[in-house]
């Protein structure tokens, strides 16, 4: 990497960056592949028996400690706008930093269902980042909220 490339990357302002259609399309392809893979896993293994990462317990424990408002009811169905308030974005960002060096692609974009009792559909999907996806889906799986997917498939 050249010095000019280093300076350019350190001066990059993600908040005001342009959207590049090719990058957005690649994100969409990757995000859909990830959701398809996850759905197939849930059809093959009851969520309550599924391990998503080697750090599931730590992710779950710290998630519930930092976000106690995620009760069973809110894990079943949440308002995506609550995730995206300025205050909550900061909370998620601060919490996720603890996993920055241990969870691969912790901040990579993902698609997350807002209602766990329904499949991925346009009106039931929101943009999230990987660690947020893991936290919510690990909690849902531990509570058996995704077991219906396996039961319906088998």
User: Domain spans of the chain?
Assistant: 28-153
Cα–Cα distance between 98 and 38 in angstroms, integer?
Answer: 24
Burial 47-63 (b: 16+ CB within 10 A, else e): beebebbebbeebbebb
d(CA 56, CA 33): 22
- Cα–Cα distances (Å) from 93 to 21, 42, 86, 130, 131, in that order, read 26, 28, 11, 12, 10
pLDDT digits (tens, 9 = 90+) for 118-144: 999 999 999 898 999 999 999 999 999
Q: How is residue 139 written in tokens?
A: 């909690």
pLDDT attached to residue 9: 39
Query: pTM for the complete prediction?
Result: 0.82
Q: What is the mean pLDDT of the chain?
A: 85
Across residues 108-113, what is the average pLDDT? 89
* CATH number of the 28-153 domain: 1.10.3560.10
């Amino acid at each position: 990497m050249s010095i000019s490339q280093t300076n350019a990357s350190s001066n990059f302002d993600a908040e005001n960056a342009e959207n590049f259609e090719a990058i957005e399309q690649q994100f969409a392809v990757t995000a859909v592949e990830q959701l398809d893979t996850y759905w197939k896993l849930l059809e093959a293994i009851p969520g309550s028996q599924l391990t998503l990462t080697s750090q599931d317990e730590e992710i779950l424990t710290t998630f519930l400690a930092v976000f106690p408002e995620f009760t069973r009811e809110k894990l079943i169905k949440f308002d995506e706008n609550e995730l995206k308030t300025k205050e909550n974005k900061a909370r998620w960002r601060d919490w996720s930093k603890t996993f920055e060096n241990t969870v691969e692609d912790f901040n990579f974009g993902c698609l997350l269902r807002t209602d766990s009792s329904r499949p991925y559909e346009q009106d039931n999907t929101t943009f999230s980042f990987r660690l947020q996806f893991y936290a919510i889906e690990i909690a849902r799986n531990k509570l058996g909220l995704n077991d219906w997917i396996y039961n319906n498939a088998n």
